[in-house]
């Protein structure tokens, strides 16, 4: 079960600049991963967890709000964990 979340330095930097309600929603997602595991959290439809295509292939995204997304990848070595690559405003 994957229940560890690591933030990249870029994601940490971006989170400092985001509105508080976005940061809180992101923290709720991280807490859900740590408590339930990634497989169970992916089943929650509100996060809209989906694999990405094109130049972002290999990443997955979740919706933090209507405008903001977090992009992550699952890293598998001796310990499996989620690595959040970035958090930004989604361009439509």
pTM attached to this predicted model: 0.87
Alpha-carbon distance 45 to 31, whole Å? 16
pLDDT classification of 44: cutoffs 50, 70, 90: very high
Topology adopted by domain 5-89: YaeB-like fold (3.30.2310)
What are the residues whose beta carbons fall under 8 Å from the beta carbon of 32, sequence distance 6 or more? 41, 44
Alpha-carbon distance 11 to 42, whole Å? 20
**Model confidence over 47-87: pLDDT tens digits?**
999 999 999 899 899 999 989 999 999 888 655 678 888 88
Domain ranges (residues) in the chain:
5-89
């Amino acid at each position: 079960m994957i229940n560890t979340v690591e933030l990249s330095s870029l994601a940490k930097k971006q989170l400092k600049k985001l509105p508080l309600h976005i940061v809180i929603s992101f923290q709720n997602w991280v807490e859900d991963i740590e408590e339930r595991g990634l497989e169970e959290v992916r089943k929650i439809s509100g996060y809209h967890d989906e694999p990405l295509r094109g130049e972002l292939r290999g990443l997955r995204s979740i919706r933090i709000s209507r405008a903001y997304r977090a992009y992550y990848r699952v890293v598998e070595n001796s310990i499996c964990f989620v690595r959040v690559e970035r958090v930004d405003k989604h361009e439509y």
